[in-house]
């Protein structure tokens, strides 16, 4: 059984990491998929090629989610290419690790603009399209375990992830009457570009691994199943929920 047969999905930050894995799995599960990204065009083209190899339609849309105009533009492109928007995955994010006391204002504000403001406008644009279509929909935001716990070098980042988690809770209420479900996934530490430098510190990496009951850091593909599940009709009565996908790290106090 294909969980997303006949559906269309848009995902921000779909060229690498978690967004890439979600886009490819969604295509394997029967969805046509459009990705948004910044940076490396070849990486985005490769994801589109994998979507097409799964027999689905795919396209890539290069735009900075911090630019408010990118949100209606991405959704309009999705409608033009795929006909409708059934599923929206708000995933694009950055984490430029930095100490708190001398955090440059630009670093704080850029992180807020991309991770939180970008998510807000993207989700709002997708929701308006879903309401206009009239057939409901599913929105999944990639929040983080960092919505629930802090990080010494993440004082700019963790509030954005708490904000995204909260955005899904409030949007679930605002959009329930339209049959649009809103949920978040809370990944633990997943090996991607976002933390490649941070985890190059062998001591820190060992410390992170030691906290995880399942005994390893995550891979982007570990998020694909949970995102597809929340997007699918199997989760038809799930809204306003947050799913930790962290190998058990959060609950491991002692
Ligand atoms: P990644 O760096 O591999 O992927 C980031 C993606 O977002 C890329 O496709 C990139 O092009 C895109 N992107 C970055 N800035 C953008 C912008 N301004 N506009 C549009 N696209 C932009 O990292 P990842 O780990 O896959 O991160 C994806 C999401 O997962 C982020 O929101 C991150 O906070 C979240 N997350 C990651 C982890 C982890 O440990 N890797 C844990 C919890 C949550
Ligand atoms: C996550 C979590 C991880 C970190 C990434 C960048 O939300 O905090 O530990 O590596 O962000």
Q: What is the mean pLDDT of the chain?
A: 98
Which numbered ligand comes closest to the C-alpha of 113? 1
Q: What pTM did the predictor assign? A: 0.99
Cβ of residue 91 lying under 6 Å from some atom of ligand 1? yes
Do the domain assignments include residue 152? yes
Domain count for the chain: 1
CA atoms within 13 A on the CB side of 31: 32
Do the domain assignments include residue 113? yes
Quick check: 61 pLDDT over 90?
yes
Do the domain assignments include residue 130? yes
The per-residue pLDDT for range 146-162, each reduced to its tens digit, is 999 999 999 999 999 99
CATH number at residue 197: 3.40.50.720
Do the domain assignments include residue 253? no
Do the domain assignments include residue 254? no
For 93, the domain range is: 8-245
Do the domain assignments include residue 14? yes
How many whole angstroms from 153 Cα to the centroid of ligand 2? 10
The per-residue pLDDT for range 21-50, each reduced to its tens digit, is 999 999 999 999 999 999 999 999 999 999
How many whole angstroms from 158 Cα to the centroid of ligand 1? 14
221 closest CA partner among 51, 29, 25: 25
How many whole angstroms from 146 Cα to the centroid of ligand 2? 7
Do the domain assignments include residue 1? no
Q: What average pLDDT does range 173-181 have in this prediction? A: 99
The per-residue pLDDT for range 209-239, each reduced to its tens digit, is 999 999 999 999 999 999 999 999 999 999 9
E strand map for the chain? 8-11, 32-37, 58-62, 87-90, 137-142, 180-187, 242-245
H or E element in which residue 158 lies: helix 158-175
pLDDT band at 1 (very low <50, low <70, confident <90, very high): confident
Do the domain assignments include residue 219? yes
How much of the chain, in percent, has pLDDT values that exceed 90?
Answer: 100
Cβ of residue 175 lying under 6 Å from some atom of ligand 1? no
pLDDT at 76: 98
The per-residue pLDDT for range 99-149, each reduced to its tens digit, is 999 999 999 999 999 999 999 999 999 999 999 999 999 999 999 999 999
Q: What average pLDDT does range 177-193 have in this prediction? A: 98
């Amino acid at each position: 059984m294909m969980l997303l047969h006949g559906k269309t999905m848009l995902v921000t930050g779909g060229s690498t990491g978690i967004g890439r894995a979600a886009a490819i799995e969604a295509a394997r599960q029967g969805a046509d998929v459009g990705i948004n990204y910044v940076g490396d065009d070849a990486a985005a083209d490769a994801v589109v090629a994998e979507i097409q190899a799964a027999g689905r339609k795919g396209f890539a849309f290069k735009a900075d989610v911090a630019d408010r105009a990118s949100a209606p533009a991405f959704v309009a492109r999705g409608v033009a290419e795929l006909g409708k928007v059934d599923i929206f995955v708000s995933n694009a994010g950055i984490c430029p690790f930095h100490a708190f006391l001398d955090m440059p204002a630009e670093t704080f504000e850029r992180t807020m603009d991309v991770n939180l403001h970008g998510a807000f406008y993207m989700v709002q644009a997708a929701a308006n399209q879903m309401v206009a279509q009239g057939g409901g929909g599913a929105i999944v935001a990639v929040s983080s375990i960092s919505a629930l716990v802090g990080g010494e070098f993440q004082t700019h980042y963790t509030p954005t992830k708490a904000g995204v988690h909260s955005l899904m809770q409030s949007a679930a209420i605002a959009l329930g009457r339209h049959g649009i479900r809103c949920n978040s996934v809370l990944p633990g530490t997943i090996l991607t570009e976002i933390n490649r430098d941070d985890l190059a510190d062998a001591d820190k990496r060992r410390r992170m691994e030691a906290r995880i009951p399942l005994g390893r850091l995550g891979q982007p593909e570990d998020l694909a199943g949970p995102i597809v599940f929340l997007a699918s009709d199997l989760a038809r009565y799930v809204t306003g929920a947050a799913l930790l996908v962290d190998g058990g790290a959060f609950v491991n106090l002692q």
